[in-house]
Structure 1
Amino acid sequence: GDTVNGIAVTPINAFHPVYGTTPVPLTPGAIGTPGSYDAKLRQTGLYAQDQISWGGLRVTLSGRHDWAETENGASQRDRKFTWRAGALYMTSIGIAPYVSYSTSFQPQLGQVLRGDGTTTGASPSLGRQIEAGVKYQPPGTAILLTAAWFRIEQTNLLTAVPNSVYSTQSGKVRSQGVEAEATVPLPHGFTARAAFSHQIVKTVADADPANIGKGLIGVGRGNAAFNLDWAPEAGPLAGLKLGGGLRWVDKVYAGSDSHTPSYTLFDALLRYDLGRANPSLKGLEIGLNAANIFDRKYLTSCYLSSVGWCWYGQRRTVQGTIGFRW
């Protein structure tokens, strides 16, 4: 029979097609796997942090040293010292500007497929980030507004190659963008929340010059969200919480200078504190959450550089919960 991306399918006549003849695997075991390997990672670290306060100034300093050992076809040992420094100044009018700088170290497990066809173990990922922003909370209110600019550089990021046990590893990737959030309590028990982020992610160094200036597969340009909740504090409906919102996801880089389409989803929730109706049930809460309530079909990501793979997002999902707090 024919195969598509390594999966056997029933032949089809283009002039007289008969659909639905290819057996559909019903379990993960029936799908099979492209291969497997054993890998181990052991990591130990020491961490210290101190915060200094002087008037409205808050300064945070921290340092960490890690030792890592990986076994992934060959034994590899790595160690690294990373640190973080940040400062925030709180003013009397509720405005608090801040700035921070941090470095990172992350050991990784994976078989990396090189351009010449050879494979090696994954190297650790190193990163550094600078962020500057401002927070604003009007005195005497629960309103909170935040905005920030960030720039992140990270080396050796892994991207899994579909239908294989291998990954590719970039040289250095830079992410730069802005993000903003707002939480605003409204009259009559309503609360509005909004968030927005936009980023530009590019490969700035790589063993393959063709990748420089391109995006990172599976990473998008940003997203936005808005939620409105209603939770009356008094009256016969006290203890009830109703909410709804939307999520917008911008395009995601899929390789080969292509992107997946942006999409918007709608969600809803209902929760009730049973303790409000019966004191003996204090702390018991029931809930109902619905995601993608209009059952929209959408693609979360694609891998088009060497194979034509795409992944659909989750369809409508309704989930009931029972929780207890004490």
Structure 2
Amino acid sequence: MASMNMIQALNNALDITLASDPDTLIFGEDVGYFGGVFRVTDKLQEKHGLTRCFDAPISEGGIIAAAIGMGAYGLRPVVEIQFADYILPAYDQLVSEAARLRYRSGGEFWAPLTVRSPYGGGIFGGQTHSQSPEAIFAHITGLKTVIPSNPYDAKGLLIAAIECDDPVVFLEPKRIYNGPFDGRPDQAMKTWAGHKDAEVPEGHYTVPLGKAAITRPGSEVTVLAYGTMVHVALSAIEESGLDAELIDLRSIVPLDIDTIVASVKKTGRCVIVHEASRFSGFGAELSALIQERCFYHLKAPIGRVCGWDTPYPHAFEWDYFPGPARIIRALNSAMEN
């Protein structure tokens, strides 16, 4: 075991897969000599060589298109798009090619590629560096969408994603790269201190895609979250004094609906937390799935605490970002019914 933050855990996962599988390679925007804008690929080119970890032109469509071809050829490419906001120029490649290749070829070809990208807010990145586009990937049949919340899961989920034969969009919450965060503005830059926050096995292991984690057991209300919002929700629960059960989804596709349903049937109440916009956000799908399966067990309407239905506001990031106060209001509202 070693003490690692999420950046170190992800770097360790990539290092292990490069060393153990000659078909794995890493390329993308500034991932080679520079080691990535957030240093996730630091020293991997130096250790594994220019043909295993290298830079690509700033062409997101070209990067992902090349990775699709490599995957069909038999390689396992891991590409980094510098910010999730930048994936959109390659969206057609993901939707029309990567997600459909196995079906269109009758199983003759597939696309075992992993698209890594920092996502979400919390660093004052504004509209082009802070968006949370997970719902648009979750909508596409054939893509898997994974969002870790801690170093242990980050490493295990990334190795599982690379070893998966389907395309995986792996979204890394940049706000917690260096440690946990409770959502309060006075913690705005504290996680950049570089402290390590988790014990992580140094060797190979995987965390299964599609299996949620019960971060905190409880009996009064179920809280669903992923990524940075797991830490913010936990802080809110502890402050509220309620016996809430917090479920970290870990991946939204595939979704561990069985764990969600079991919890909501037990508590009779549910609050969903994510930082993406509320309208058509992934919380809407969660709410529909729960209503379909748990209607007669619900004691209160399903609550959602989300970002605003506006472009991501640079100047008002801390109002946009779901914080403990908003989550506590939603929890109390659920308990009033």
TM-score tier (shorter): under 0.3
Higher relative CO (CA 8 A, sep ≥ 6), structure 1 or 2? Answer: 2
The structure richer in strand per residue is: 1
TM-score by length of 1: 0.26
Give the TM-score, by structure 2 length.
0.25
Of structures 1 and 2, the larger Rg is shown by 1
